[in-house]
Structure 1
Amino acid sequence: MTAAQADLQIDRPTVADGAALWRIAKDSKALDLNSSYSYLLWCRDFAGTSAVARDEHGEPVGFVTGYVRPDRPHTLLVWQVAVDGAQRGRGIAAALLDGLVARVGDAYGVTGVETTITPGNTASERLFTSFAERHGAALEREVLFEAGLFPDGPHDPEVLYRIGPLPH
């Protein structure tokens, strides 16, 4: 943990955090924004496979949402990563991802991470590429969902990043 991260607490989200996670996602301008209801449900049903970073006042400033894939129980699918604009550049996303994967690895026996990234999202590409490098894990990429599969207008393809195996 860097000195810039020392005043942060990383833990599980609670339902009371749902509105803040929705706002952080909305303000990111990079994520596909889900309904506010979905963030409340996520904080209730997937708190064990998600993480929130809190500032010195206990307010959420970043989050990672994820779930263990039902058909691949040793794989954590990272759904969204976002950090409040005023907090970016401090390594919070990397600290959240490292902390979550360590916790989920211990709790669920997770040995791999998956996420999808749209081409051109260089921040996410760097985050997951550097995660794989830090953990000495292989990284594979392939298109998971072609642009034409999305029914709600123009959408870039979603590229699957598969990272693993992770060391125990």
Structure 2
Amino acid sequence: MPKDMNDIEERRSKTLILRKPRSTDGSEIWELVRACKPLDENSMYCNLVQAEHFSDTCVVAELNGQIVGWISGHMIPNEDALFVWQVAVSPKARGLGLGKKMLEHLIGRDACAEATQLNTTITKDNEASWALFRSFARDLGGELSDKAHYKKELHFDGHHATEHMVTITLPEEVEADAKSAA
């Protein structure tokens, strides 16, 4: 078996836990995001607040006690939509389908039971994010659409690429499953 395959098999055999974050995870989440280019880095304080105040709509993935995955998100006020802000997967955990596992875990939570759609923003050049969300939508049976939302000149004063709002409609079966689990 090639060395890369051995590494993947070894990682799969380790214990993976998906859970709500705690405020004490803030610094480790911050380090993970910093290691996952091209993600925008937030302050450590921002990640700490996300972990504490939005724990019901964020996910931490641990592999043998080390944080290797993170999703930050929140329910959009006055809408039945879950907004996913960032998905980070450590290079140590790539190739395990972790991004999709965390998304599936998240939409199954009670806090997301009212969501009829999932939204996120992605720059056109972030191929890994596009692949993740297209695959997630396809596997879920949801429709994916996108349009320019936060524009380079209008919103970012030319300092950041345009972010496209990606919308995935969640099939009614997923909504019903989440509500029955509540």
Which of 54, 63, 74 matches 1:55? 63
Matched residue, 2:94: 88
Q: Secondary structure at the match of 1:64?
A: strand
TM-score (norm 1): 0.90
1:37-52 to 2 correspondences below 5 Å? 37-52=45-60
Distance 1:24 1:40 in 2: 13
Which of 118, 122, 127 matches 1:117? 122
Distance 1:69 1:30 in 2: 24
Distance 1:42 1:116 in 2: 18
Contact 2:14 2:63 in 1 (8 A): no
Matched residue, 2:107: 101
Unaligned runs of at least 5 residues, structure 1: none
- Are positions 1:142 and 2:147 aligned together? yes
Equivalent residue letter for 1:4: R
Q: Displacement, 1:88?
A: 1.1
Rg larger for: 2
Distance 1:7 1:51 in 2: 16
Distance 2:96 2:170 in 1: 27
RMSD over aligned CA atoms reads: 1.8
- Are positions 1:161 and 2:166 aligned together? yes
Which of 62, 73, 76 matches 1:66? 73
Which of 11, 17, 23 matches 1:15? 23
Distance 2:110 2:116 in 1: 9
Q: Secondary structure at the match of 2:40?
A: coil
The change in CA–CA distance for 1:5 and 1:120 in structure 2 (over 3 A counts) is farther
Equivalent residue letter for 2:85: W
Which of 78, 84, 94 matches 1:78? 84
Contact 1:8 1:54 in 2 (8 A): yes
Unaligned runs of at least 5 residues, structure 2: 1-8, 177-182
**Which string of whole-angstrom CA distances, capped at 9 and with x for unpartnered residues, describes residues 98-123 of structure 1?**
11111156x54212100000011111
Matched residue, 1:31: 39
Q: Secondary structure at the match of 2:142?
A: coil
Distance 2:165 2:50 in 1: 21
Distance 2:102 2:86 in 1: 11
